[in-house]
Amino acid sequence: MSSSEPKGDLGLIGLAVMGQNLILNAADHGFTVVAYNRTVSKVDHFLANEAKGKSIIGAHSLEDLVSKLKRPRKVMLLIKAGAPVDTTINHLVPLLDKGDIIIDGGNSHFPDTNRRYEELKAKGIYFVGSGVSGGEEGARYGPSLMPGGAEEAWPYIKNIFQSIAAKSDGEPCCDWVGPAGAGHYVKMVHNGIEYGDMQVICEAYDIMKRIGGFTDKEISEVFAKWNKGVLDSFLVEITRDILKVNDTDGTPLVEKILDTAGQKGTGKWTAINALDLGMPVTLIGEAVFSRCLSALKEERIRASTKLLGPEIPKDAVKDKQAFIDDLEQALYASKIISYAQGFMLIRQAGKDYGWKLNNPAIALMWRGGCIIRSIFLGEITKAYRADPDLENLLFDKFFTDALNKAQPGWRRSIGLATSYGVPTPAFSTALAFYDGYRSKRLPANLLQAQRDYFGAHTFRVLPEAANDHYKEGEDIHFDWTGHGGHVSATTYDA
Ligand SMILES: *[C@@H]1O[C@H](CO)[C@@H](O)[C@H](O)[C@H]1NC(C)=O
Ligand SMILES: *[C@@H]1O[C@H](CO)[C@@H](O)[C@H](O)[C@H]1NC(C)=O
């Protein structure tokens, strides 16, 4: 190691758990990694312990880091999102040359990544924003990586990224997502979907517990069985395991946990973006709102003594097997809707932001390594491989058939929960979306009439209803009260 030729394949800034594990992962795959942290003692400690004997070099300054990297230099940041990323980039850029690559592997919000991509492009630096999912374990043994930004960088980082990423049937769960902030965008939607997946699992648990009268051990056994079928996934698997854990007094630990959910904001970002783009991503929205409602614990306690609901009899469920089978279909169908909505959002983002997105690769990247990994994503990958521009996931035969088969049980589960007063916000919103999506006619005709009545907002007529005075495609205002004017509203907003 005494040669002055730089040896580093990748520089990594930020030695928190994710950073350390990603470095060890890359070193295991034969890459030489240069590790840096602003707190230099962290670098020395890491080098003397976890990194000892591996192809990992320490750096004591950004200059030192840069000097140890092969060209074009590839520097990855795994630090706290927000201002620290800008600060570090600002210190780094004067040390780099045109054509060098900066990768942000943190949880940055995609508009920040868009901005940094543009700023760095102007300086000749290739900027990549990459979603990284899978937690500590994933970072160490194979995360899901979702890189986007300057595509010129991809040939230089492809080998490292695909080597360290999780594999699904031998294929790396990492491919190029698209331009600018697309990588972080897709990671944001991944997190939103994760919110939804968790919520639907919680609803199934709540129904089994409160209506079925199941013990946590019995519920764990149901999840264990589901995990061998269409719902096979990381989140179902950990739910099975969580429900088995007893506290020292021999009762389930999960029942001692305060029922107010926290959130870091990525689910909220997805829901806000869905509203911005006008996409009905209702399940993720409900999942975020459900966490908000859970946080109102004190109010809920007061309401529980005032607001009435039905009693749940001990024998509410007569046929346990049928009850569980219906519930499995409810969970499965709701999950299909949630993913279809997520891909509707991604498709719209592609249009609105002018991004060419790699849909089959997105599904494959979520197939392994990350929190939402599941068997099911294999089917989504197949659907988008068969038709990369698929209008809607629900039009793929596999999913059309799955929903058509699931819908009777899905309806029965929601009906049962509703009649016994157990909330199913995600199951219900998914079904409402399903029924709305498959409705040729929705009551928005009346809504348009209301808007025209109070605000002269105009309406159009159905093609088959067009006639001499109501022409197709024409904005019409009708004098509903008989004493209004015929002037339609352009500025007036009631
Ligand atoms: C240094 O490491 C800490 C964790 O130990 C991490 O939170 C921080 O982001 C790192 N900062 C830089 C600039 O390397
Ligand atoms: C937890 O306790 C229940 C009884 O409350 C028991 O049936 C179960 O086996 C225990 N689980 C474990 C993992 O020890």
Ligand 2: does its nearest atom lie under 6 Å from the Cβ of 215?
no
Q: Is 17 annotated as a binding residue?
A: yes
134 CB-near residues (< 8 Å, 6+ apart): 142, 143, 144, 166, 369, 370, 371
Average of pLDDT values for 117-144? 95
pLDDT digits (tens, 9 = 90+) for 279-332: 999 999 999 999 999 999 999 999 999 999 999 999 999 999 999 999 999 999
The Cα–Cα gap between 109 and 120 comes to: 17
Which pLDDT score is estimated for 494? 45
What are the C-alpha distances in Å from 441 to residues 43, 354, 446, 465, 466? 63, 31, 11, 14, 17
Give distance in angstroms: CA of 199 to centre of ligand 2. Answer: 25
What are the C-alpha distances in Å from 148 to residues 47, 57, 74, 175, 358? 31, 27, 15, 9, 10
* Residue among 200, 180, 437 nearest 331 (CA): 200
Q: Is 38 annotated as a binding residue?
A: yes
Ligand 1: does its nearest atom lie under 6 Å from the Cβ of 45?
no
The Cα–Cα gap between 281 and 291 comes to: 16
Ligand 1: does its nearest atom lie under 6 Å from the Cβ of 20?
no
The two three-digit tokens of residue 482, written as one number = 């008989």
Ligand 1: does its nearest atom lie under 6 Å from the Cβ of 13?
yes
Q: Is 39 annotated as a binding residue?
A: yes
Q: How confident is the model at residue 492 (pLDDT cuts 50, 70, 90)?
A: very low
271 CB-near residues (< 8 Å, 6+ apart): 192, 281, 284, 285, 288
Element (H, E) at 366: helix 359-367
Residue 9, judged by CB atoms within 10 A of its CB (0-12, 13-18, 19+), counts as buried
Which pLDDT score is estimated for 83? 97
- By the 8 A CB rule, do 31 and 163 touch? yes
Give distance in angstroms: CA of 213 to centre of ligand 2. Answer: 17
Give distance in angstroms: CA of 272 to centre of ligand 2. Answer: 42
The Cα–Cα gap between 170 and 115 comes to: 35
Q: Is 25 annotated as a binding residue?
A: no
Q: What is the set of active-site residues? A: 187, 194
pLDDT of residue 1 exceeding 50, the answer is: no
Which pLDDT score is estimated for 483? 80
pLDDT digits (tens, 9 = 90+) for 45-72: 999 999 999 999 999 999 999 999 999 9
Q: Whose CA is nearest to atom 7 of ligand 1?
A: 16
Mean pLDDT of the chain: 95
Amino acid at 150: A
Ligand 1: does its nearest atom lie under 6 Å from the Cβ of 108?
no
Residue 455, judged by CB atoms within 10 A of its CB (0-12, 13-18, 19+), counts as middle
Provide the whole-model pTM: 0.94
- % of the chain exceeding 90 in pLDDT: 92
pLDDT of residue 489 exceeding 80, the answer is: no
- By the 8 A CB rule, do 173 and 145 touch? yes
* Residue among 146, 162, 180, 139 nearest 361 (CA): 146
Q: How confident is the model at residue 263 (pLDDT cuts 50, 70, 90)?
A: confident
pLDDT digits (tens, 9 = 90+) for 389-430: 899 999 999 999 999 999 999 999 999 999 999 999 999 999
pLDDT of residue 2 exceeding 70, the answer is: no
Give distance in angstroms: CA of 23 to centre of ligand 1. Answer: 14
Starting from the CA of residue 243, give the closest ligand: 2
What are the C-alpha distances in Å from 88 to residues 12, 14, 124? 12, 10, 17
Ligand 1: does its nearest atom lie under 6 Å from the Cβ of 242?
no
pLDDT digits (tens, 9 = 90+) for 174-232: 999 999 999 999 999 999 999 999 999 999 999 999 999 999 999 999 999 999 999 99
Structural domains of the chain ordered from first start: 10-180 (3.40.50.720), 187-437 (1.10.1040.10), 443-494 (1.20.5.320)
Q: Whose CA is nearest to atom 14 of ligand 2?
A: 246
Phi first, then psi: give them for residue 11, nearest 5 degrees.
Answer: -100, 140
Distance spanning both ends of the chain, measured CA to CA: 74
pLDDT of residue 249 exceeding 60, the answer is: yes
Starting from the CA of residue 252, give the closest ligand: 2
